[in-house]
Amino acid sequence: MAFWFFVLIFSFYSKSSAEVVTALPGQPTNVSFKQFSGYITTDAQHGRALFYYFVEAKSASPLSRPLILWLNGESNMLYVESPIGVGFSYSNTSSDFLGWNDTRTTKDNLIFLINWLEEFPNYKDSDLFLTAISILTSLVAGHYIPQLAALLIEYNKNPNIKPIKLRAIALGNPLLDLDIRVQAGDYLWSHGAISDETLMLKNSVCNDSKYLSEDVHGKLSQGCKDVFKRASDEISADVAHDDLLFPNCLSSSSAEQFRPKGKQGNACQHNSPALPLELLYRVYFFLFQCLIKTCKSCRPLEYQEDNLDMNLIPLISDLIKAGIPIMLYSGDQDSKIPLTQTRIIANKLVKDLKLSPFTKCGTWYDKKQVGGWSQSFGGLKEGKNVTFLTYASVRGAAHEVPFTSPSQALSLFRSFLSGTPLPRPSD
Ligand SMILES: *[C@@H]1O[C@H](CO)[C@@H](O)[C@H](O)[C@H]1NC(C)=O
Ligand SMILES: *[C@@H]1O[C@H](CO)[C@@H](O)[C@H](O)[C@H]1NC(C)=O
Ligand SMILES: *[C@@H]1O[C@H](CO)[C@@H](O)[C@H](O)[C@H]1NC(C)=O
Ligand SMILES: *[C@@H]1O[C@H](CO)[C@@H](O)[C@H](O)[C@H]1NC(C)=O
Ligand SMILES: *[C@@H]1O[C@H](CO)[C@@H](O)[C@H](O)[C@H]1NC(C)=O
């Protein structure tokens, strides 16, 4: 109750700061869409505000197109830097940077969205899609989006408000739990990146769940340290854990030589950190220290570490039950949050919710090439067959799919918005 009261109060005091963006470094001068950026105040008393960049659809009638909230594409794209401490988002109250956690991020994100719609009221009737990819860490997609979706559904139950039309959510290589999601032993072994002995040690002495759980709670055992040191030595610091195919930075020509055909993104990766899970965990904190060093209010955000150890699979299940379709996709070269585990979670959801397969598990296509493998599941809603869950792997893609595989990502995105299965060879 108290929270909704705050939401309404803060909405009332929200100040306008939208600016039209007329030029950006590196952008052609004659773009045919409108772009805006600015701050949305999420707490006027504390002086807390989230930074956004909004791109209107390249269309004669952008209002007829859906609105996509992208945390950290022919649609209206709203990119948000959340929580405070990320990029240009800030607070004037230093205590805001202490004891921050998922609950506070989610509330701030909702207040942001409500106040943003006050700033751009024409979009109040738009269909809203929530999505995120994991920028270095999987929390952004795995934790923030499902929790924001759940809070939005709660918010929509309030009388006297205009409900926000949440339509679907998409999660790329998301961290959803520590029991299933992070198990990378079999994946690394089947890619030849760790030895038989190391796999055996992972299975008997310390698997990734145990390691990460110990680490998050500050109780890392020697046994776990040893197994992970061994694994990371075998994988080598010259291989990116979030993309086993990505070339290392030696010189641009050597990176060029190694680059698999058709692979895009930056020429090479810098300094791959030693332990994948350690990375995941460190980056959780790193992310909240200003990424943009020139920002004046730059301050590290102290985040409640145990929030990493949260199981969001039941929440995903509730969202599907509430009629919100979900797309779970995985770049298949990511060893941090491997696709094998996405599939286990998708299958678990299908079984628990008794969803029916709408398509066989098979290849999906992007420009006549196999984009990956996928399967869509659904059920009846108001007498119609509706897709509730799409699982898709993205062939050759990294932890951050749009970064290495923009064309495949666009095909995924189109299916996501239209709520249809991914293109098959006959399409
Ligand atoms: C912008 O100008 C360039 C160079 O004149 C042209 O090739 C391009 O098609 C233009 N783009 C748009 C969106 O008008
Ligand atoms: C934070 O403080 C600055 C300087 O006083 C002020 O200009 C700004 O509006 C404040 N931010 C918010 C969100 O109130
Ligand atoms: C976040 O912190 C608040 C107190 O500041 C607490 O009530 C809430 O349970 C915490 N949430 C999580 C997910 O740890
Ligand atoms: C990981 O290890 C823990 C503790 O030994 C065990 O309970 C759990 O079942 C293991 N998980 C998998 C997927 O093997
Ligand atoms: C829904 O899909 C299932 C499985 O493909 C099919 O058997 C059923 O007839 C469909 N129902 C409707 C109402 O279209």
**Contacts with 287 (C-beta within 8 Å, 6 or more apart), sequence order:** 86, 135, 136, 137, 140
240 and 189 inside one domain: yes
Domain membership of residue 210 (yes or no) is yes
Please, what's the b/e burial string for 91-124 (b: 16 or more CB within 10 A of its CB; e: otherwise)? beeeebbeebebebbbbbbbbbbbbbbebbeebe
98 and 235 inside one domain: no
Give percent above pLDDT 90 in the chain: 52
For atom 9 of ligand 3, the residue with the nearest CA is 103
Give percent above pLDDT 70 in the chain: 81
Which structure tokens are listed for 289? 């220290």
206 and 322 inside one domain: no
79 and 109 inside one domain: yes
CB of residue 304 inside a 6 A radius of ligand 3: yes
Which of 24, 53, 23, 12 shows the shortest CA–CA distance to 36? 53
Higher confidence at residue 406 or residue 267? 406
Q: pLDDT of 121-160, one tens digit each?
A: 999 999 999 987 665 444 567 888 999 999 999 999 999 9
- Catalytically active residues are 134, 334, 399
Whether the CA torsion 241, 347, 131, 91 is positive or negative: it is negative
320 and 351 inside one domain: yes
Residue 369 has what pLDDT? 93
Domain membership of residue 131 (yes or no) is yes
Domain membership of residue 302 (yes or no) is no
Q: pLDDT of 191-204, one tens digit each?
A: 999 999 999 999 99
CB of residue 41 inside a 6 A radius of ligand 2: yes
CB of residue 94 inside a 6 A radius of ligand 5: no
Domain membership of residue 292 (yes or no) is no
Helix (H, G, I), strand (E, B) or coil at 177: coil
Domain membership of residue 63 (yes or no) is yes
Which structure tokens are listed for 307? 């929030």
CATH number of the domain enclosing 348: 3.40.50.1820
Domain membership of residue 47 (yes or no) is yes
35 and 161 inside one domain: yes
33 and 144 inside one domain: yes
Where in the sequence is the domain holding 356, given as residue range(s)? 2-177+309-418
Q: Alpha-carbon distance 189 to 270, whole Å?
A: 24
Q: Alpha-carbon distance 240 to 276, whole Å?
A: 9
CB of residue 251 inside a 6 A radius of ligand 2: no
Select from 254, 286, 318 the last residue of a domain.
286
The answer to which of 238-252, 257-271, 394-408 has the lowest mean pLDDT is 257-271
Task: Please check the confidence at residue 381 and state whether its pLDDT lies above 70.
Answer: yes
Q: Which of 182, 206, 207 to mutate to test the pocket of ligand 4 (most atoms within 8 A of CB)?
A: 207
pLDDT band at 23 (very low <50, low <70, confident <90, very high): confident
CB of residue 92 inside a 6 A radius of ligand 2: yes
The closest-lying atom of ligand 2 relative to the alpha carbon of residue 49 is 13
224 and 163 inside one domain: no
Give the predicted TM-score (pTM) of the model.
Answer: 0.86
Q: Alpha-carbon distance 174 to 115, whole Å?
A: 27
CB of residue 307 inside a 6 A radius of ligand 3: yes
Residue 291 has what pLDDT? 40
86: left (phi over 0), alpha (psi -120 to 50) or beta: beta
Contact between 212 and 348 (Cβ < 8 Å): no
Q: How many domains does the chain have?
A: 2
Q: How far apart are the first and last CA of the chain?
A: 49
22 and 171 inside one domain: yes
pLDDT band at 16 (very low <50, low <70, confident <90, very high): low
Span from the CA of 84 to the centroid of ligand 2 (angstroms): 14
152 and 74 inside one domain: yes
CB of residue 201 inside a 6 A radius of ligand 2: no
Which ligand sits nearest to residue 100's alpha carbon?
A: 3
Angle of CA points 267, 135, 30, to nearest 5°: 65
Domain membership of residue 359 (yes or no) is yes
- Identity of the highest mean pLDDT range in 189-198, 216-225, 269-278, 372-381: 189-198
Cis peptide before 425 (omega within 30 of 0): no
Residue 266 has what pLDDT? 46
Q: pLDDT of 311-348, one tens digit each?
A: 999 999 999 999 999 999 999 999 988 999 999 999 99
Span from the CA of 50 to the centroid of ligand 2 (angstroms): 12
In this prediction, residues 253-282 reach a mean pLDDT of 44
Span from the CA of 34 to the centroid of ligand 1 (angstroms): 15
For atom 8 of ligand 2, the residue with the nearest CA is 47
21 and 146 inside one domain: yes
- What Å distances lie between residue 241 and 237, 361, 371, 422, CA to CA? 9, 27, 21, 27
pLDDT band at 85 (very low <50, low <70, confident <90, very high): confident
Which residue's structure tokens are 């984009």?
371
227 and 326 inside one domain: no
Domain membership of residue 296 (yes or no) is no
Q: pLDDT of 61-74, one tens digit each?
A: 889 889 988 876 46
